[in-house]
Amino acid sequence: MYMQTEWSECKETRREMKQRKPRVLLSGDGALTLNTRAFELLGSPEAVRLLFDVQRSTIGVRAEDREIEYALPFRAEKKSSRV
């Protein structure tokens, strides 16, 4: 059985596709790196607070005022923000 399809070409590079999705990376030295999309979804904050769900062994981040105790300020980089 033949199905007619109407293909569309992808007009994005792999890098562009990656940048659309929010990403948070934890490096070996313990630094968190957020891509631009993740940073924007948090509201482009000056700092974040680290959260941890013990039962699920999951790390979370929440936008925070940089004056709050335990807030971690961002260090802006080219295409990402680093804590």
pLDDT in tens, 15-74: 777 777 888 888 888 888 888 889 999 999 999 999 999 999 888 999 999 999 999 998
Residue 63 CA to residue 45 CA, distance in Å, equals 6
79 pLDDT exceeds 60? no
Start-end of H helices in the chain:
14-20, 36-41
Q: What is the pLDDT of residue 10?
A: 80
Collapse the DSSP code of 58 into the 3-class scheme (helix H, G, I; strand E, B; otherwise coil) and give the result.
strand
How far is 49 from 30, CA to CA, in rounded Å?
A: 14
pTM of the model: 0.66
H or E segment at 16?
Answer: helix 14-20
Say if CB 17 and CB 23 are below 8 A apart.
no
Could you give the C-alpha distances from 18 to 2, 40, 79, in angstroms and in order? 34, 15, 12
